[in-house]
Structure 1
């Protein structure tokens, strides 16, 4: 398996964890009442706390960006693209997303945006490696 495909797997795990953590923060899944909410149909959820809202938005953004990353990485693999730009771009994207989640949850706005831009640069490098 190529390093880029391994990053697709790692990114899938990171995305799933982000969605899971955001969900647990929203319902306070570590409490008995939160566990009941988490196991239920999620009807009548309480309003999200500021950190729960940020965690949900960060997870949603991660999911949206994972779709783009996976599509580009899988096309690169199918096309047999061996450009170092593809692998380097994938690494940049992945590590930027690892940083993005805690920075977004912490509410550090400008740094969050800068990290997001770095992840987009990683995607752009991957695409340029395909052309």
Structure 2
């Protein structure tokens, strides 16, 4: 398989874009109030935590940073050993779609549905790992 046309590789790059969106969204939401421009541009020596939706977006971004390396390594591993399949493509799609859903669900404070999205993303990673060992 040509790596350049691999759907798994394309979905890995799509996940990088999701991460960038997470970062920007959490950053923008966390500005304002006591987090004025001078504080944001300075050394931030005095912590100014965020609350509400901005805090949820920050936690959603932190969660992405926890799951993305697992997804990336799984995808790269199946690509390197040439074990891409319908199963790995499905797992990658499941991860990406679930992560796209996760952040707005978390931002809205929807706990059960958010957990379902997180679980789906983990199942996607597991599908890829299982394919690696087959």
TM-score after normalising by structure 2? 0.87
How much is the aligned-residue C-alpha RMSD, in angstroms? Answer: 1.6
Q: Alpha-carbon deviations, 1:45-77, whole Å to 9, x = none?
A: 433121111011000001111110000000011
Give the 3 Å change call, closer, same or farther, for CA 36–3 of structure 1 in structure 2: farther
More helix by share: 1
Query: Matches of 2:37 and 2:14 in 1, distance apart?
Result: 27
Matches within 5 A, 1:1-131: 1=4, 2-28=6-32, 34-131=36-133
- Whether the 8 Å CA contact 1:19–1:60 is kept in 2: the answer is no
Query: Matches of 1:95 and 1:3 in 2, distance apart?
Result: 14
Aligned length: 128
Query: Matches of 1:21 and 1:95 in 2, distance apart?
Result: 18
Query: Matches of 1:11 and 1:95 in 2, distance apart?
Result: 10
**Which consecutive unaligned segments of at least 5 residues does structure 2 have?**
none
Query: Matches of 2:132 and 2:25 in 1, distance apart?
Result: 34
Query: Matches of 1:47 and 1:130 in 2, distance apart?
Result: 41
Q: Which runs of 4+ in 1 moved over 2 A?
A: 33-47
TM-score after normalising by structure 1? 0.89
Query: Matches of 2:27 and 2:114 in 1, distance apart?
Result: 21
